[in-house]
Chains A and B, each alone.
Chain A
Protein backbone atom coordinates (compact mmCIF):
# COMPACT_ATOMS: atom_id res chain seq x y z
CA UNK A 1 0.00 0.00 0.00
CA UNK A 2 1.07 3.58 -0.52
CA UNK A 3 1.13 5.79 2.55
CA UNK A 4 -0.43 9.23 2.84
CA UNK A 5 2.86 11.13 2.69
CA UNK A 6 3.82 9.29 -0.48
CA UNK A 7 0.45 10.17 -2.01
CA UNK A 8 0.90 13.83 -1.10
CA UNK A 9 4.37 13.90 -2.61
CA UNK A 10 3.19 12.31 -5.80
CA UNK A 11 0.21 14.67 -5.97
CA UNK A 12 2.60 17.60 -5.71
CA UNK A 13 4.89 16.13 -8.35
CA UNK A 14 1.94 15.73 -10.65
CA UNK A 15 0.52 19.15 -9.97
CA UNK A 16 1.21 20.84 -13.27
CA UNK A 17 1.72 20.34 -16.93
CA UNK A 18 0.30 18.54 -19.89
CA UNK A 19 -0.32 14.85 -19.38
CA UNK A 20 -1.61 13.99 -22.83
CA UNK A 21 -1.69 15.97 -26.03
CA UNK A 22 -3.19 14.45 -29.14
CA UNK A 23 -3.35 16.45 -32.32
CA UNK A 24 -4.94 15.62 -35.67
CA UNK A 25 -5.06 11.89 -34.91
CA UNK A 26 -6.29 9.92 -37.89
CA UNK A 27 -6.92 6.25 -38.41
CA UNK A 28 -8.50 4.20 -41.17
CA UNK A 29 -9.44 0.59 -40.50
CA UNK A 30 -10.20 -1.36 -43.66
CA UNK A 31 -12.00 1.12 -45.86
CA UNK A 32 -13.56 2.98 -42.95
CA UNK A 33 -12.13 6.23 -41.71
CA UNK A 34 -12.52 5.83 -37.95
CA UNK A 35 -10.68 8.90 -36.66
CA UNK A 36 -10.64 12.11 -38.67
CA UNK A 37 -8.21 14.47 -37.03
CA UNK A 38 -8.96 14.18 -33.33
CA UNK A 39 -7.47 16.81 -31.04
CA UNK A 40 -7.47 16.28 -27.30
CA UNK A 41 -5.49 17.64 -24.39
CA UNK A 42 -5.45 16.47 -20.79
CA UNK A 43 -3.86 18.49 -18.07
CA UNK A 44 -2.52 17.13 -14.83
CA UNK A 45 -5.23 16.31 -12.30
CA UNK A 46 -8.02 16.45 -14.87
CA UNK A 47 -10.79 13.95 -15.48
CA UNK A 48 -11.80 14.00 -19.12
CA UNK A 49 -14.80 11.99 -20.24
CA UNK A 50 -14.83 11.15 -23.93
CA UNK A 51 -18.44 10.60 -24.89
CA UNK A 52 -20.21 9.60 -28.04
CA UNK A 53 -22.58 7.02 -29.50
CA UNK A 54 -21.55 3.49 -30.38
CA UNK A 55 -19.09 3.51 -33.27
CA UNK A 56 -18.03 7.10 -32.68
CA UNK A 57 -14.37 6.09 -32.45
CA UNK A 58 -13.93 6.52 -28.68
CA UNK A 59 -12.39 3.12 -28.00
CA UNK A 60 -10.23 3.30 -31.09
CA UNK A 61 -8.90 6.68 -30.04
CA UNK A 62 -8.19 5.38 -26.54
CA UNK A 63 -6.41 2.37 -28.05
CA UNK A 64 -4.21 4.73 -30.06
CA UNK A 65 -3.37 6.60 -26.86
CA UNK A 66 -2.66 3.33 -25.06
CA UNK A 67 -0.30 2.21 -27.80
CA UNK A 68 -2.34 -0.83 -28.74
CA UNK A 69 -3.22 0.68 -32.12
CA UNK A 70 -1.01 2.87 -34.28
CA UNK A 71 -2.60 5.98 -35.70
CA UNK A 72 -2.16 6.67 -39.42
CA UNK A 73 -1.60 10.35 -38.87
CA UNK A 74 -1.31 13.03 -36.25
CA UNK A 75 0.62 12.96 -33.03
CA UNK A 76 0.05 11.68 -29.50
CA UNK A 77 2.45 12.79 -26.83
CA UNK A 78 2.54 12.16 -23.09
CA UNK A 79 4.11 14.59 -20.63
CA UNK A 80 5.42 16.71 -23.53
CA UNK A 81 7.92 14.01 -24.27
CA UNK A 82 6.82 10.43 -24.77
CA UNK A 83 5.10 8.62 -27.62
CA UNK A 84 2.41 6.16 -26.47
CA UNK A 85 4.60 3.07 -26.46
CA UNK A 86 7.39 4.81 -24.60
CA UNK A 87 4.93 6.08 -21.99
CA UNK A 88 3.31 2.75 -21.14
CA UNK A 89 4.87 2.62 -17.70
CA UNK A 90 3.20 5.95 -16.88
CA UNK A 91 -0.40 5.01 -17.49
CA UNK A 92 -2.71 2.18 -16.63
CA UNK A 93 -5.34 0.95 -19.05
CA UNK A 94 -8.66 -0.83 -18.66
CA UNK A 95 -9.98 -1.87 -22.04
CA UNK A 96 -13.19 -3.55 -23.08
CA UNK A 97 -13.10 -7.28 -23.66
CA UNK A 98 -12.22 -10.34 -21.66
CA UNK A 99 -8.82 -9.23 -20.43
CA UNK A 100 -9.01 -11.26 -17.22
CA UNK A 101 -7.96 -14.87 -17.68
CA UNK A 102 -11.08 -16.98 -17.02
CA UNK A 103 -8.96 -19.86 -15.73
CA UNK A 104 -7.30 -17.80 -13.00
CA UNK A 105 -9.01 -16.53 -9.88
CA UNK A 106 -9.77 -12.86 -9.49
CA UNK A 107 -6.85 -12.48 -7.08
CA UNK A 108 -4.47 -14.35 -9.39
CA UNK A 109 -5.46 -12.13 -12.29
CA UNK A 110 -4.81 -8.98 -10.27
CA UNK A 111 -1.46 -10.32 -9.02
CA UNK A 112 -0.47 -11.25 -12.57
CA UNK A 113 -1.07 -7.74 -13.88
CA UNK A 114 0.52 -6.27 -10.75
CA UNK A 115 3.70 -8.14 -11.67
CA UNK A 116 3.59 -6.96 -15.27
CA UNK A 117 3.11 -3.25 -14.63
CA UNK A 118 6.16 -1.34 -13.43
CA UNK A 119 3.91 0.73 -11.17
CA UNK A 120 1.78 -2.22 -10.07
CA UNK A 121 0.73 -2.27 -6.42
CA UNK A 122 -1.33 -4.59 -4.25
CA UNK A 123 -4.00 -1.93 -3.81
CA UNK A 124 -6.30 -4.14 -5.89
CA UNK A 125 -7.12 -5.87 -2.61
CA UNK A 126 -8.61 -2.68 -1.21
CA UNK A 127 -10.39 -1.97 -4.46
CA UNK A 128 -11.82 -5.47 -4.55
CA UNK A 129 -13.25 -4.79 -1.12
CA UNK A 130 -14.79 -1.52 -2.29
CA UNK A 131 -16.25 -3.30 -5.30
CA UNK A 132 -17.67 -5.95 -2.90
CA UNK A 133 -15.64 -8.67 -4.56
CA UNK A 134 -13.51 -9.87 -1.66
CA UNK A 135 -15.42 -13.10 -1.13
CA UNK A 136 -15.21 -13.98 -4.81
CA UNK A 137 -11.55 -13.21 -5.41
CA UNK A 138 -10.56 -16.84 -4.89
CA UNK A 139 -13.01 -18.11 -7.50
CA UNK A 140 -11.98 -18.46 -11.12
CA UNK A 141 -13.07 -15.55 -13.28
CA UNK A 142 -14.75 -17.98 -15.68
CA UNK A 143 -17.44 -18.40 -13.02
CA UNK A 144 -17.99 -14.63 -12.72
CA UNK A 145 -20.79 -12.57 -14.19
CA UNK A 146 -19.84 -9.93 -16.74
CA UNK A 147 -20.07 -7.22 -14.11
CA UNK A 148 -17.83 -9.09 -11.67
CA UNK A 149 -15.19 -9.70 -14.34
CA UNK A 150 -15.33 -6.01 -15.20
CA UNK A 151 -14.78 -5.11 -11.55
CA UNK A 152 -11.69 -7.34 -11.40
CA UNK A 153 -10.31 -5.63 -14.50
CA UNK A 154 -10.98 -2.22 -13.01
CA UNK A 155 -9.48 -3.15 -9.62
CA UNK A 156 -6.39 -4.37 -11.43
CA UNK A 157 -6.06 -1.29 -13.65
CA UNK A 158 -6.75 1.19 -10.86
CA UNK A 159 -4.23 -0.41 -8.50
CA UNK A 160 -1.29 0.89 -10.54
CA UNK A 161 0.37 3.95 -9.04
CA UNK A 162 0.47 6.03 -12.21
CA UNK A 163 -0.24 9.65 -13.11
CA UNK A 164 -2.75 8.73 -15.84
CA UNK A 165 -5.56 6.21 -16.21
CA UNK A 166 -7.03 5.34 -19.60
CA UNK A 167 -10.36 3.61 -19.07
CA UNK A 168 -12.51 2.31 -21.89
CA UNK A 169 -16.18 2.22 -20.95
CA UNK A 170 -15.49 1.47 -17.28
CA UNK A 171 -19.17 1.87 -16.45
CA UNK A 172 -20.22 -0.92 -18.80
CA UNK A 173 -21.80 -3.81 -16.86
CA UNK A 174 -21.61 -1.97 -13.52
CA UNK A 175 -24.74 -1.42 -11.48
CA UNK A 176 -25.49 2.04 -10.13
CA UNK A 177 -23.99 1.51 -6.69
CA UNK A 178 -20.76 0.17 -8.17
CA UNK A 179 -20.69 3.05 -10.62
CA UNK A 180 -20.74 5.34 -7.61
CA UNK A 181 -17.81 3.44 -6.08
CA UNK A 182 -15.90 3.80 -9.32
CA UNK A 183 -16.63 7.51 -9.52
CA UNK A 184 -15.54 8.02 -5.91
CA UNK A 185 -12.32 6.17 -6.59
CA UNK A 186 -11.52 8.24 -9.65
CA UNK A 187 -12.26 11.48 -7.83
CA UNK A 188 -10.08 10.35 -4.95
CA UNK A 189 -7.20 9.60 -7.34
CA UNK A 190 -7.57 13.05 -8.84
CA UNK A 191 -7.91 14.93 -5.56
CA UNK A 192 -5.42 13.04 -3.39
CA UNK A 193 -2.84 11.90 -5.91
CA UNK A 194 -3.15 14.45 -8.69
CA UNK A 195 -3.87 11.68 -11.16
CA UNK A 196 -5.49 12.36 -14.52
CA UNK A 197 -8.16 10.21 -16.12
CA UNK A 198 -9.34 9.77 -19.68
CA UNK A 199 -12.42 7.61 -19.78
CA UNK A 200 -14.71 6.79 -22.66
CA UNK A 201 -18.40 6.48 -22.03
CA UNK A 202 -21.86 6.55 -23.44
CA UNK A 203 -23.31 6.65 -19.94
CA UNK A 204 -24.48 10.21 -19.19
CA UNK A 205 -23.92 9.54 -15.46
CA UNK A 206 -20.17 9.55 -16.12
CA UNK A 207 -20.45 13.24 -16.99
CA UNK A 208 -20.99 13.92 -13.27
CA UNK A 209 -17.31 13.44 -12.48
CA UNK A 210 -15.90 15.12 -15.56
CA UNK A 211 -13.79 18.21 -15.39
CA UNK A 212 -14.16 18.30 -19.14
CA UNK A 213 -16.43 16.54 -21.57
CA UNK A 214 -15.34 15.79 -25.09
CA UNK A 215 -17.92 14.57 -27.59
CA UNK A 216 -16.77 12.40 -30.43
CA UNK A 217 -18.94 11.47 -33.36
CA UNK A 218 -17.98 9.86 -36.64
CA UNK A 219 -14.36 10.14 -35.66
CA UNK A 220 -14.45 13.90 -35.05
CA UNK A 221 -14.62 16.04 -31.93
CA UNK A 222 -17.88 17.96 -31.87
CA UNK A 223 -17.63 19.61 -28.49
CA UNK A 224 -14.99 20.04 -25.82
CA UNK A 225 -15.52 21.89 -22.58
CA UNK A 226 -16.52 21.78 -18.94
CA UNK A 227 -19.93 20.16 -18.37
CA UNK A 228 -21.52 23.35 -17.05
CA UNK A 229 -20.35 25.33 -20.06
CA UNK A 230 -21.66 22.75 -22.51
CA UNK A 231 -24.99 22.58 -20.66
CA UNK A 232 -25.28 26.36 -20.92
CA UNK A 233 -24.73 26.22 -24.66
CA UNK A 234 -27.49 23.70 -25.29
CA UNK A 235 -30.59 24.87 -27.15
CA UNK A 236 -33.75 25.05 -24.99
CA UNK A 237 -35.06 21.63 -23.96
CA UNK A 238 -38.77 21.01 -24.23
CA UNK A 239 -40.38 18.39 -22.04
CA UNK A 240 -43.71 16.89 -23.11
CA UNK A 241 -45.72 14.53 -20.97
CA UNK A 242 -49.09 13.04 -21.82
CA UNK A 243 -48.77 13.43 -25.60
CA UNK A 244 -46.37 12.68 -28.41
CA UNK A 245 -45.28 15.72 -30.40
CA UNK A 246 -44.19 15.62 -34.01
CA UNK A 247 -40.43 14.94 -34.24
CA UNK A 248 -40.06 17.43 -37.07
CA UNK A 249 -40.71 20.28 -34.69
CA UNK A 250 -37.43 19.64 -32.89
CA UNK A 251 -33.84 20.25 -33.76
CA UNK A 252 -32.58 17.48 -36.00
CA UNK A 253 -36.17 16.29 -36.53
CA UNK A 254 -35.71 14.10 -33.50
CA UNK A 255 -37.16 13.78 -30.00
CA UNK A 256 -35.94 11.49 -27.22
CA UNK A 257 -38.05 9.33 -24.94
CA UNK A 258 -37.20 9.29 -21.25
CA UNK A 259 -39.55 7.34 -19.03
CA UNK A 260 -43.04 8.65 -19.61
CA UNK A 261 -41.93 11.87 -21.25
CA UNK A 262 -40.58 13.06 -24.55
CA UNK A 263 -37.77 15.59 -24.72
CA UNK A 264 -36.46 17.52 -27.65
CA UNK A 265 -34.40 20.57 -28.49
CA UNK A 266 -35.89 23.77 -29.84
CA UNK A 267 -34.30 26.22 -32.23
CA UNK A 268 -35.68 28.92 -29.93
CA UNK A 269 -37.77 28.95 -26.79
CA UNK A 270 -40.78 30.51 -28.49
CA UNK A 271 -41.20 27.35 -30.60
CA UNK A 272 -42.67 25.73 -27.49
CA UNK A 273 -45.90 27.65 -27.90
CA UNK A 274 -46.44 26.34 -31.41
CA UNK A 275 -45.88 22.78 -30.25
CA UNK A 276 -48.17 23.19 -27.26
CA UNK A 277 -50.92 24.53 -29.50
CA UNK A 278 -50.96 21.31 -31.50
CA UNK A 279 -51.14 19.00 -28.47
CA UNK A 280 -54.15 18.08 -26.28
CA UNK A 281 -54.92 20.50 -23.46
CA UNK A 282 -54.05 18.02 -20.73
CA UNK A 283 -50.53 17.45 -22.05
CA UNK A 284 -47.71 18.89 -20.00
CA UNK A 285 -45.47 21.01 -22.19
CA UNK A 286 -42.69 23.00 -20.60
CA UNK A 287 -39.14 24.20 -21.01
CA UNK A 288 -36.94 22.10 -18.73
CA UNK A 289 -33.37 22.65 -17.54
CA UNK A 290 -31.06 20.41 -19.56
CA UNK A 291 -29.71 17.25 -17.97
CA UNK A 292 -26.54 15.29 -18.75
CA UNK A 293 -28.71 12.91 -20.74
CA UNK A 294 -29.89 15.85 -22.85
CA UNK A 295 -26.30 16.92 -23.25
CA UNK A 296 -25.33 13.45 -24.40
CA UNK A 297 -28.27 13.17 -26.79
CA UNK A 298 -27.58 16.53 -28.32
CA UNK A 299 -23.90 16.08 -28.99
CA UNK A 300 -24.06 12.36 -29.70
CA UNK A 301 -26.95 12.47 -32.15
CA UNK A 302 -27.86 15.99 -33.17
CA UNK A 303 -24.87 18.26 -33.29
CA UNK A 304 -23.79 17.23 -36.77
CA UNK A 305 -27.36 16.99 -38.00
CA UNK A 306 -28.11 20.49 -36.84
CA UNK A 307 -24.94 21.68 -38.44
CA UNK A 308 -26.02 20.09 -41.71
CA UNK A 309 -29.46 21.63 -41.39
CA UNK A 310 -27.94 24.99 -40.69
CA UNK A 311 -25.69 24.75 -43.73
CA UNK A 312 -28.67 23.84 -45.88
CA UNK A 313 -30.61 26.70 -44.38
CA UNK A 314 -27.78 29.05 -45.28
CA UNK A 315 -28.34 28.31 -48.93
CA UNK A 316 -32.13 28.73 -48.83
CA UNK A 317 -32.63 31.46 -46.27
CA UNK A 318 -30.92 34.57 -45.19
CA UNK A 319 -27.47 34.10 -43.60
CA UNK A 320 -28.77 35.53 -40.33
CA UNK A 321 -30.94 32.46 -39.75
CA UNK A 322 -27.96 30.27 -38.94
CA UNK A 323 -26.82 30.52 -35.36
CA UNK A 324 -23.87 28.16 -35.59
CA UNK A 325 -24.47 26.66 -32.18
CA UNK A 326 -22.96 23.34 -33.03
CA UNK A 327 -20.64 21.64 -35.42
CA UNK A 328 -17.29 19.97 -35.44
CA UNK A 329 -14.79 21.80 -33.31
CA UNK A 330 -12.56 23.77 -35.59
CA UNK A 331 -14.95 23.67 -38.51
CA UNK A 332 -15.99 26.84 -40.21
CA UNK A 333 -19.21 28.07 -38.65
Chain B
Protein backbone atom coordinates (compact mmCIF):
# COMPACT_ATOMS: atom_id res chain seq x y z
CA UNK B 1 0.00 0.00 0.00
CA UNK B 2 1.46 3.34 -0.86
CA UNK B 3 0.74 6.29 1.35
CA UNK B 4 -0.13 9.92 1.09
CA UNK B 5 2.39 11.31 3.58
CA UNK B 6 4.98 13.26 1.67
CA UNK B 7 6.58 16.63 1.41
CA UNK B 8 5.20 18.49 -1.58
CA UNK B 9 8.45 20.36 -2.03
CA UNK B 10 11.90 19.82 -0.57
CA UNK B 11 11.88 23.36 0.81
CA UNK B 12 8.58 22.83 2.59
CA UNK B 13 8.10 20.71 5.69
CA UNK B 14 5.96 17.60 5.22
CA UNK B 15 2.30 17.83 6.02
CA UNK B 16 0.92 15.28 8.48
CA UNK B 17 -2.12 13.38 7.27
CA UNK B 18 -4.93 12.02 9.35
CA UNK B 19 -6.56 8.65 8.96
CA UNK B 20 -10.23 8.97 8.01
CA UNK B 21 -12.43 8.63 11.07
CA UNK B 22 -14.37 5.73 9.57
CA UNK B 23 -11.18 3.74 8.94
CA UNK B 24 -10.05 4.22 12.51
CA UNK B 25 -13.47 3.27 13.89
CA UNK B 26 -13.57 0.18 11.73
CA UNK B 27 -10.04 -0.79 12.80
CA UNK B 28 -11.13 -0.76 16.45
CA UNK B 29 -14.39 -2.57 15.72
CA UNK B 30 -12.63 -5.23 13.68
CA UNK B 31 -10.02 -5.70 16.37
CA UNK B 32 -12.63 -6.32 19.08
CA UNK B 33 -14.79 -8.53 16.88
CA UNK B 34 -11.79 -10.70 16.01
CA UNK B 35 -11.06 -11.21 19.70
CA UNK B 36 -14.73 -11.93 20.47
CA UNK B 37 -15.27 -14.62 17.88
CA UNK B 38 -12.32 -16.73 18.99
CA UNK B 39 -12.96 -16.57 22.73
CA UNK B 40 -14.77 -19.55 24.28
CA UNK B 41 -15.42 -17.46 27.38
CA UNK B 42 -17.22 -14.80 25.36
CA UNK B 43 -19.32 -17.44 23.62
CA UNK B 44 -20.21 -18.93 26.97
CA UNK B 45 -21.16 -15.58 28.50
CA UNK B 46 -23.12 -14.50 25.44
CA UNK B 47 -25.05 -17.72 24.87
CA UNK B 48 -24.48 -20.45 27.44
CA UNK B 49 -24.80 -18.25 30.51
CA UNK B 50 -28.22 -16.65 29.81
CA UNK B 51 -29.61 -19.84 28.28
CA UNK B 52 -28.55 -21.83 31.34
CA UNK B 53 -30.40 -19.37 33.59
CA UNK B 54 -33.40 -19.43 31.29
CA UNK B 55 -33.50 -23.22 31.33
CA UNK B 56 -33.09 -23.37 35.10
CA UNK B 57 -35.82 -20.82 35.67
CA UNK B 58 -38.26 -22.60 33.38
CA UNK B 59 -37.46 -25.96 34.96
CA UNK B 60 -37.50 -24.86 38.60
CA UNK B 61 -39.78 -21.84 38.96
CA UNK B 62 -42.40 -22.16 36.22
CA UNK B 63 -45.18 -24.72 36.39
CA UNK B 64 -45.23 -27.36 33.69
CA UNK B 65 -48.25 -25.77 32.09
CA UNK B 66 -46.72 -22.29 31.97
CA UNK B 67 -48.07 -20.42 29.01
CA UNK B 68 -46.21 -19.12 26.03
CA UNK B 69 -46.37 -15.59 27.45
CA UNK B 70 -44.69 -16.61 30.69
CA UNK B 71 -41.90 -18.29 28.78
CA UNK B 72 -41.52 -15.27 26.53
CA UNK B 73 -41.29 -12.77 29.37
CA UNK B 74 -38.68 -14.88 31.15
CA UNK B 75 -36.76 -15.08 27.88
CA UNK B 76 -36.78 -11.29 27.45
CA UNK B 77 -35.49 -10.79 30.99
CA UNK B 78 -32.63 -13.23 30.45
CA UNK B 79 -31.88 -11.84 27.00
CA UNK B 80 -31.09 -8.49 28.63
CA UNK B 81 -29.32 -10.21 31.48
CA UNK B 82 -27.04 -12.02 29.04
CA UNK B 83 -26.35 -8.91 26.95
CA UNK B 84 -25.50 -6.91 30.04
CA UNK B 85 -23.19 -9.57 31.45
CA UNK B 86 -21.22 -10.12 28.30
CA UNK B 87 -20.84 -6.46 27.36
CA UNK B 88 -19.70 -5.40 30.83
CA UNK B 89 -17.40 -8.37 31.33
CA UNK B 90 -15.79 -8.26 27.89
CA UNK B 91 -15.46 -4.56 27.33
CA UNK B 92 -14.44 -3.61 30.86
CA UNK B 93 -11.72 -6.24 30.50
CA UNK B 94 -10.67 -4.95 27.10
CA UNK B 95 -10.52 -1.33 28.25
CA UNK B 96 -8.65 -2.19 31.43
CA UNK B 97 -6.27 -4.34 29.38
CA UNK B 98 -5.54 -1.48 27.01
CA UNK B 99 -4.91 0.89 29.91
CA UNK B 100 -2.95 -1.60 31.97
CA UNK B 101 -0.89 -3.04 29.11
CA UNK B 102 0.38 0.31 27.89
CA UNK B 103 -1.47 0.18 24.58
CA UNK B 104 -2.95 3.60 25.17
CA UNK B 105 0.55 5.05 25.32
CA UNK B 106 0.97 3.71 21.80
CA UNK B 107 -2.49 4.93 20.74
CA UNK B 108 -1.68 8.40 22.05
CA UNK B 109 1.34 8.54 19.77
CA UNK B 110 -0.95 8.05 16.80
CA UNK B 111 -3.34 10.66 15.38
CA UNK B 112 -6.39 8.75 16.55
CA UNK B 113 -9.75 10.41 17.15
CA UNK B 114 -10.88 9.17 20.59
CA UNK B 115 -14.44 9.08 19.26
CA UNK B 116 -13.36 6.60 16.58
CA UNK B 117 -11.92 4.34 19.27
CA UNK B 118 -15.19 4.57 21.22
CA UNK B 119 -17.32 4.01 18.12
CA UNK B 120 -15.34 0.89 17.25
CA UNK B 121 -15.79 -0.50 20.73
CA UNK B 122 -19.48 0.35 20.66
CA UNK B 123 -20.11 -1.32 17.30
CA UNK B 124 -18.42 -4.50 18.54
CA UNK B 125 -20.35 -4.35 21.84
CA UNK B 126 -23.63 -3.83 19.99
CA UNK B 127 -22.95 -6.77 17.68
CA UNK B 128 -22.22 -8.92 20.71
CA UNK B 129 -25.27 -7.72 22.64
CA UNK B 130 -27.62 -8.19 19.70
CA UNK B 131 -26.21 -11.66 19.06
CA UNK B 132 -26.65 -12.70 22.69
CA UNK B 133 -30.11 -11.19 22.85
CA UNK B 134 -31.28 -12.75 19.60
CA UNK B 135 -29.97 -16.20 20.46
CA UNK B 136 -31.83 -16.28 23.79
CA UNK B 137 -35.10 -15.13 22.22
CA UNK B 138 -34.70 -17.56 19.32
CA UNK B 139 -34.02 -20.52 21.59
CA UNK B 140 -36.95 -19.55 23.78
CA UNK B 141 -39.16 -19.31 20.73
CA UNK B 142 -37.98 -22.69 19.50
CA UNK B 143 -38.82 -24.24 22.90
CA UNK B 144 -42.34 -22.91 23.27
CA UNK B 145 -42.23 -19.19 23.99
CA UNK B 146 -44.41 -17.00 21.82
CA UNK B 147 -44.27 -13.29 21.01
CA UNK B 148 -47.03 -11.06 19.64
CA UNK B 149 -45.20 -7.91 18.61
CA UNK B 150 -46.93 -4.57 18.40
CA UNK B 151 -46.13 -2.21 15.55
CA UNK B 152 -44.11 -0.16 18.05
CA UNK B 153 -41.66 -3.05 18.31
CA UNK B 154 -40.02 -1.88 15.10
CA UNK B 155 -38.69 1.16 16.94
CA UNK B 156 -38.75 0.06 20.58
CA UNK B 157 -36.77 -3.15 20.28
CA UNK B 158 -33.74 -1.52 18.59
CA UNK B 159 -33.98 1.53 20.87
CA UNK B 160 -34.07 -0.52 24.06
CA UNK B 161 -31.16 -2.66 22.91
CA UNK B 162 -29.21 0.41 21.89
CA UNK B 163 -29.78 2.21 25.18
CA UNK B 164 -29.02 -0.88 27.18
CA UNK B 165 -25.83 -1.42 25.23
CA UNK B 166 -24.70 2.20 25.67
CA UNK B 167 -25.32 2.05 29.41
CA UNK B 168 -23.51 -1.28 29.69
CA UNK B 169 -20.57 0.01 27.66
CA UNK B 170 -20.35 3.20 29.75
CA UNK B 171 -20.39 1.09 32.90
CA UNK B 172 -17.69 -1.16 31.45
CA UNK B 173 -15.49 1.86 30.73
CA UNK B 174 -15.98 3.16 34.28
CA UNK B 175 -15.03 -0.25 35.63
CA UNK B 176 -12.06 -0.52 33.30
CA UNK B 177 -10.80 2.87 34.42
CA UNK B 178 -11.34 2.24 38.14
CA UNK B 179 -10.37 -1.42 38.40
CA UNK B 180 -7.17 -1.68 36.44
CA UNK B 181 -7.01 -5.47 36.57
CA UNK B 182 -8.54 -7.01 33.44
CA UNK B 183 -8.51 -10.47 34.97
CA UNK B 184 -11.16 -9.48 37.53
CA UNK B 185 -13.62 -8.12 35.00
CA UNK B 186 -15.48 -11.32 34.12
CA UNK B 187 -16.29 -11.91 37.78
CA UNK B 188 -17.20 -8.28 38.36
CA UNK B 189 -19.42 -8.22 35.26
CA UNK B 190 -21.29 -11.35 36.33
CA UNK B 191 -21.78 -10.12 39.89
CA UNK B 192 -23.04 -6.73 38.71
CA UNK B 193 -25.45 -8.35 36.26
CA UNK B 194 -26.83 -10.60 38.99
CA UNK B 195 -27.23 -7.69 41.40
CA UNK B 196 -29.01 -5.59 38.77
CA UNK B 197 -31.19 -8.54 37.80
CA UNK B 198 -32.38 -9.47 41.26
CA UNK B 199 -32.72 -6.02 42.81
CA UNK B 200 -35.05 -4.98 40.01
CA UNK B 201 -37.26 -8.05 40.25
CA UNK B 202 -35.78 -10.14 37.45
CA UNK B 203 -35.02 -7.07 35.35
CA UNK B 204 -38.51 -5.69 36.02
CA UNK B 205 -40.45 -8.75 34.85
CA UNK B 206 -41.53 -9.67 38.41
CA UNK B 207 -41.77 -6.38 40.34
CA UNK B 208 -44.05 -8.07 42.87
CA UNK B 209 -40.87 -9.55 44.40
CA UNK B 210 -39.91 -6.10 45.60
CA UNK B 211 -41.20 -5.38 49.10
CA UNK B 212 -41.78 -1.65 48.69
CA UNK B 213 -43.35 0.30 45.85
CA UNK B 214 -41.54 -0.94 42.75
CA UNK B 215 -41.97 2.32 40.81
CA UNK B 216 -38.25 2.38 39.98
CA UNK B 217 -38.50 -0.60 37.64
CA UNK B 218 -39.81 1.87 35.09
CA UNK B 219 -36.82 4.13 35.67
CA UNK B 220 -33.66 2.07 36.09
CA UNK B 221 -32.11 1.35 32.70
CA UNK B 222 -32.04 -2.45 32.87
CA UNK B 223 -35.63 -2.91 34.03
CA UNK B 224 -36.93 -0.02 31.92
CA UNK B 225 -35.45 -1.53 28.75
CA UNK B 226 -36.77 -4.98 29.62
CA UNK B 227 -40.27 -3.73 30.38
CA UNK B 228 -40.36 -1.59 27.25
CA UNK B 229 -39.43 -4.64 25.22
CA UNK B 230 -42.09 -6.71 27.00
CA UNK B 231 -44.62 -4.07 25.99
CA UNK B 232 -43.35 -4.10 22.40
CA UNK B 233 -43.19 -7.87 21.99
CA UNK B 234 -46.49 -8.85 23.62
CA UNK B 235 -49.67 -7.22 22.36
CA UNK B 236 -51.93 -8.61 25.06
CA UNK B 237 -53.30 -8.39 28.58
CA UNK B 238 -50.66 -8.37 31.32
CA UNK B 239 -53.08 -8.81 34.23
CA UNK B 240 -52.10 -11.64 36.59
CA UNK B 241 -48.75 -12.12 34.93
CA UNK B 242 -46.68 -10.61 37.74
CA UNK B 243 -45.48 -7.84 35.44
CA UNK B 244 -47.91 -5.27 36.91
CA UNK B 245 -47.94 -2.98 38.82
CA UNK B 246 -46.59 -0.50 37.87
CA UNK B 247 -48.03 -0.12 34.41
CA UNK B 248 -45.71 -0.99 31.56
CA UNK B 249 -43.68 2.00 30.30
CA UNK B 250 -45.56 2.51 27.06
CA UNK B 251 -45.70 6.32 26.94
CA UNK B 252 -43.52 8.67 24.98
CA UNK B 253 -41.98 9.96 28.22
CA UNK B 254 -40.34 6.57 28.72
CA UNK B 255 -38.97 6.68 25.21
CA UNK B 256 -37.51 10.06 26.16
CA UNK B 257 -36.00 8.57 29.31
CA UNK B 258 -34.47 5.77 27.27
CA UNK B 259 -33.06 8.36 24.88
CA UNK B 260 -31.68 10.27 27.87
CA UNK B 261 -29.85 7.13 28.98
CA UNK B 262 -28.27 6.94 25.54
CA UNK B 263 -27.14 10.57 25.76
CA UNK B 264 -25.79 10.25 29.31
CA UNK B 265 -24.11 6.92 28.54
CA UNK B 266 -22.42 8.36 25.47
CA UNK B 267 -21.33 11.48 27.37
CA UNK B 268 -19.77 9.40 30.15
CA UNK B 269 -18.09 7.13 27.61
CA UNK B 270 -16.70 10.03 25.58
CA UNK B 271 -15.42 11.76 28.70
CA UNK B 272 -13.69 8.62 29.94
CA UNK B 273 -12.09 7.70 26.65
CA UNK B 274 -10.98 11.25 26.00
CA UNK B 275 -9.72 12.08 29.49
CA UNK B 276 -8.55 8.77 30.88
CA UNK B 277 -7.40 7.00 27.76
CA UNK B 278 -6.24 9.80 25.48
CA UNK B 279 -5.18 12.31 28.11
CA UNK B 280 -7.32 15.20 27.00
CA UNK B 281 -7.13 14.79 23.24
CA UNK B 282 -9.89 16.56 21.33
CA UNK B 283 -12.44 14.25 19.78
Contacts and interface: CB of A to CB of B under 8 A. Distances in A.
Interface of A: 1-2, 6, 9-10, 12-17, 63, 66-68, 70, 79-82, 85-91, 93, 95-99, 101-104, 108, 112-122, 161-163, 166
A66 B13 contact: no
B143 interface: no
B237 to A, nearest CB: 48
Given A88-B110, A89-B16, 15 more contacts: A12-B10, A15-B10, A68-B105, A68-B108, A68-B109, A85-B281, A89-B17, A90-B5, A90-B16, A93-B106, A97-B101, A117-B110, A118-B19, A161-B5, A162-B5
Nearest to B101: A98
B35 A101 contact: yes
Contact of A115 (B13, B16, B26): B26
B1 A88 contact: no
A78 to B, nearest CB: 8
Contacts of A88: 16, 109-111
A86 B38 CA distance: 37
Contacts of A81: 13
A90 B1 contact: no
A86 B111 CA distance: 8
Contacts of B236: none
Interface in B220-260: none
B3 A90 contact: no
B31 A108 contact: yes
Given A88-B16, A90-B14, A95-B102, A115 B27 contact: yes
Contacts of B275: none
Contact of B16 (A12, A82, A116): A82
B112 interface: yes
Contact of B5 (A118, A122, A166): A118
Interface string B32-53: 0011001100000000000000
Interface string B132-147: 0000000000000000
B19 A116 contact: yes
Contacts of A117: 19, 110
30 contacts: A6-B2, A67-B108, A67-B109, A68-B108, A91-B109, A93-B110, A95-B105, A97-B101, A97-B105, A99-B101, A99-B103, A99-B106, A101-B31, A103-B35, A104-B31, A112-B27, A112-B30, A115-B26, A115-B27, A116-B24, A116-B27, A116-B107, A116-B110, A118-B4, A118-B16, A118-B19, A120-B1, A121-B1, A121-B3, A161-B5
Contacts of B279: 68, 70
B19 A115 contact: yes
B83 to A, nearest CB: 21
Interface of B: 1-7, 9-10, 13-14, 16-19, 23-24, 26-27, 30-31, 34-35, 38-39, 101-103, 105-112, 279, 281
Given A101-B35, A112-B27, A118 B111 contact: yes
A306 to B, nearest CB: 35
B41 to A, nearest CB: 11
Given A85-B281, A95-B106, A119 B34 contact: no
A2 B6 CA distance: 13
A98 B27 contact: no
A141 to B, nearest CB: 11
B222 to A, nearest CB: 28
Contacts of A17: 13
Contacts of A86: 16
Contacts of B111: 88-89, 118
